Amino acid sequence: MGAQYAVGRPGGKTFPFHMTVSPINSNALAADGRSLNALKLQAGQNTPASIKEAARQFESLFMRELIKSMREATLKSGMLESPGGDLGQDMLDQQLAVQMSGMPGGLSELIARQLSQQMAPQQAAPVPLAQRQTRPTAELAVPVPLAQHQTRPTAELAASLPRPAANQAEFVARHSAAAAQVERTSGIPSGFMLGQAGHETGWGKHQIKMPGGSNSFNLFGIKAGAGWSGKVAEVTTTEFVNGAPQKMVAKFRAYASFEESFKDYARLITRSPRYAQVSQQTGSVQAFASGLQRAGYATDPDYAAKLSRAINQTLQLQRAQA
């Protein structure tokens, strides 16, 4: 039901104004809470009529603000202005905004097209009945502690990964104890650290060497910046500049053991402001790897994808070795 009002104007004249408080219709403007709720309910139906009405309401609100800005920019004498007159002017502008919206070729048509595209359901390709998932993945079938959620690849993902090579299994087995110890103090999953160490060193094949040929024990490719006071290994490495690989000489940190390498890596990830968000993303392999790339851990534009693959292979090996 609507309510009829007589709005006063300077000079004693009145004009009728109809304020609608019922659900949205073509003559109403969704400017109050009840009308907005009705518009949300109608737009959620995802029908051409509801989308068209939602677009018209957006245009009406835009036109109302436009008229309001024009009124405020107009110089006033102050002689005939009053609170009642301002209210009447505002209600008149509201009705004018409604009448000006929804015209062919107007803004509402553009909004309606955009809403239709955004609200259109995504059509998924049909999956043959024989290929549909009928059993829970290993992730769901085996209870996983809360701190380790999403750190194990599902059976479907594990099947898509290349079978780990013997050197990968040997690398994971060799460094599992050190990684597990650092996991207890840092909270970073051991599989994440082992996977990144494996990716950085080619699973132990390409470790950073000191000038005399001895091992630097740097499993994570951490460079020696201005704040590093320990030993340094200076080697030629590949960096990506503007997406193109280039060879250059860089200084890397050197340690006394692999255990020190794991500990220093954990300190870097958990204490450096640069990696503050990364240390909070250990619940997902992809999020962790993407976070490292965004923070600038490596210049390789495909680093996150490669690291995710290495970590998932490590998690697969850990499950097989458990």
- What pTM did the predictor assign? 0.51
Whether 239 is catalytic is: yes
Contacts with 187 (C-beta within 8 Å, 6 or more apart), sequence order: 147, 270, 279, 282
| pLDDT score, position 44 | 59
Give the whole-angstrom CA distance, residue 87 versus residue 136: 63
Q: Which one is catalytic: 200, 264, 300, 302?
A: 264
In which element (H, E) is residue 258 found? helix 258-271
Please tell me which residue, 149 or 258, carries the higher pLDDT value: 258
- pLDDT tens figures, 43-66: 556 677 777 777 777 777 777 777
Please tell me which residue, 33 or 283, carries the higher pLDDT value: 283
Architecture in CATH of 149-321: Orthogonal Bundle (1.10)
Lowest mean pLDDT among 27-41, 102-116, 252-266: 27-41
Per domain, the residue ranges of the chain are: 2-73+82-119, 149-321
- pLDDT tens figures, 200-220: 999 999 999 998 899 999 999
Is the pLDDT at 152 greater than 70, yes or no?
no
| pLDDT score, position 229 | 92
Whole-number Cα distances in Å, 275 to 143, 239, 261, 264, 278: 30, 20, 17, 14, 5
Please tell me which residue, 53 or 235, carries the higher pLDDT value: 235
Whether 109 is catalytic is: no
- Collapsing DSSP to helix, strand or coil, 282 comes out as coil
Q: Which one is catalytic: 109, 239, 260, 300?
A: 239
> What is the pLDDT averaged over residues 83-100?
75
Q: What is the 3-state secondary structure (H, E, C) of 283-318?
A: CCHHHHHHHHHHCCCCCCCCHHHHHHHHHHHHHHHH
Instruction: With CA atoms as reference, report the closest residue to 279 among 198, 186, 194, 199.
Output: 186
What residue has token string 């204490």? 271
Q: What are phi and psi of 235, to 5 degrees?
A: -140, 165
Lowest mean pLDDT among 45-49, 75-79, 288-292: 75-79
